[in-house]
Every structure is written in structure tokens, then in C-alpha cells.
Amino acid sequence: MKIIVGLGNPGACYQWTRHNIGFQVVDRLAQENHFPICHKRFKAHCGKGRIGSQDVLLVKPLTYMNRSGLAVSQAVHFYKVDSQNRPQDLIVIHDDLDLPFGTFRIKRWGGDGGHQGIRSITESLGDNRFLRLKVGIGRPPRGRDPAEYVLDPFDGTERDALNGILLQAAECVAAILSEGVDAAMNRYQKRVILPSQSP
């Protein structure tokens, strides 16, 4: 079982905010692979299905961002996922302020980079060896508080590009599962999706 976690905050008021792009990617994965995220388990909304030849569990924690580790650790322990020896068996998708909007970065392990959701998962698992797909949301304008910026909805130009970004992110996760991390990195790393490229 591969566990794929999208990070975000529960509730309609957060649905289309920048901080929730992890949720949005996981929703797109479920849509593209024709299985729902309809069960409430592990303090999360979950969906089981297949992506390519892999059995996967999609997870959207309901614990709010800074307590994401509570949900992730429950799922990891239940399915006995060994992320320490096989980091690619746990994939966490999250927003990243330091990447330009519409770019991706795949990271095998490492620090949390100031991201509260990643910090919570690392603390709950007692280990930072899990795969991350970072989705760039860009830096806020000068003088804008980053903590407020990430909780704002995407602006008009960003919304025009968002469909293409979510599709490419879902395809990137599928490539990780079917072809491996290096192949996905070569194809998707820091790729920019412009509004005109949106399907």
C-alpha cells in the first residue's frame, strides 16, 4: 500500500486557498483515477483505489495543518508503511512559498522548510524520510504577511492556470508510482504551468 497525503485545512472556507493545494491535488488524483475520497478514518478523509498497478490510500487530514502528523501517523502505522527504508511508500503533497507559482519540486527527505504540516508529520513519525511533492505558490507581495497570504484564495490569473497545475501534479504522482522518483524528477521538476497551457 502506498499512502499519498495532501496537506490542507478542512472546511469550505479554506477549500481554494493557496495552503490547500495539497488537498486539491489529492482530489484531482481521485478524479483522474476514478475512485472517491469518501471515508472518514485516521482523523482524515480517505479513499482507497489503484493508480496504475499500485494500491494507494489517498489521505486528507482533518486535523488542521499544524497537526497533520496525527492523521498521517495513524495511517502509516495501520498499514505498516516503512517510510524509513522505502520513502516513496509515503508521499506528502504540500504548498511551498519558496517555489514560483506553478512549479514542482520532488524531495526524498529532509527538513520541514518552515512548513507546519511537514513539521507535524516529522515529529509524529519520529523521522523525516518520506517523499514530498512541493507545489509552488510563490512569495507574497512585499509587505504582505506570508501567514495571511497562504490562507488567501488564488487570484484570477492563478485560477486560470490552476486546472493545468493540478493535472500535472496528479500526473507527476502517477509517474513516481509507475516509473520511479528519478524519472518523475526529470520530467516534472520545476516545470512551470502557464495559464495558456491549462487544459
Residue 14 phi, psi (nearest 5): -100, -5
Residue from 125, 47, 115, 44 nearest 90 by CA: 125
Residue 148 phi, psi (nearest 5): -80, -40
On whether the CB atoms of residues 157 and 195 are closer than 8 A, the answer is: yes
How many CA atoms within 13 Å lie on the side-chain side of 186?
5
Q: What gap in Å lies between CA 84 and CA 66, rounded to an integer?
A: 22
Max CA separation in the chain (angstroms): 47
Q: Is 77 a catalytic residue?
A: no
Q: What gap in Å lies between CA 195 and CA 153, rounded to an integer?
A: 17
Report angle CA 167, 139, 72 to the nearest 5 degrees: 55
List alpha helices for the chain, DSSP H: 21-32, 68-78, 116-125, 146-149, 156-179, 181-188
Which residues are tagged catalytic? Answer: 19
